[in-house]
Amino acid sequence: MKNTWQLQEAKNQLSTVVENALTRGPQTITRHGTPAVVVVAAEEFRQQRSQRKSIVELFEPARGLDLTIKRDKSPARTSNV
* CA 17/CA 21 separation, integer angstroms: 6
What is the pLDDT, as a whole number, of residue 51? 82
Cα torsion angle, 13, 18, 19, 23, sign: positive
Position 4 pLDDT exceeds 80: yes
Q: Spell out the residues 6+ positions from residue 48 whose beta carbon is closer than 8 angstroms to its own.
A: 40
Position 15 pLDDT exceeds 80: yes
Give me the helices (H) in the chain, please: 7-12, 14-23, 42-50, 55-59
What is the pLDDT, as a whole number, of residue 5? 98
What is the pLDDT, as a whole number, of residue 8? 98
Position 79 pLDDT exceeds 90: no
CATH number 3.40.109.10 is the correct assignment for the domain at 4-52: no
What is the pLDDT, as a whole number, of residue 36? 98
The domain locations on the chain are 4-52
- For residue 49, the one-letter residue type is R
pLDDT band with cut points at 50, 70 and 90 for residue 39: very high
What is the pLDDT, as a whole number, of residue 50? 84
